[in-house]
Amino acid sequence: MAHRDLASAFHRFHRLRASQVVFALQLAIFALIWAGDSICNAIKVPKPQMLSSMQESRMMTIMGIWLVGNMLSAQLLNTGAFEIQHGDQLIWPGP
């Protein structure tokens, strides 16, 4: 029993970390969209065409990244736990 609990905790930990990585990537892409010109100039590299395209439709790109990132995070953090109670009686999952 203890092994199963440890494996479950280990799995939850990795899913939590993956969700945090998704969030960090969202923030990094947002920063790149808003300050991409300055970042490219500071590191002396030409601005990629993809970044130019993302900046042309800045709000749509940000909304899309936010939506996809949040869907990924929600899937990673989903525990599958679900129960229904009526008063003090547990209805689902049944006994």
Tell whether the model's pLDDT for residue 59 goes beyond 80.
Answer: yes
Query: Is 95 inside any structural domain?
Result: no
Query: Is 24 inside any structural domain?
Result: yes
Q: What is the mean pLDDT of residues 42-51?
A: 94
pLDDT value of residue 8? 74
pLDDT value of residue 79? 79
Query: Is 68 inside any structural domain?
Result: yes
End-to-end CA gap in the chain: 20
Structural domain of 23? 10-74
Segment 8-27, tens digit of pLDDT = 777 788 999 999 999 999 99
Model confidence, pTM: 0.74
Tell whether the model's pLDDT for residue 93 goes beyond 70.
Answer: yes
pLDDT value of residue 57? 95
- What count of other Cβ atoms lies within 10 Å of the Cβ of residue 69? 19
How many domains is the chain built from? 1
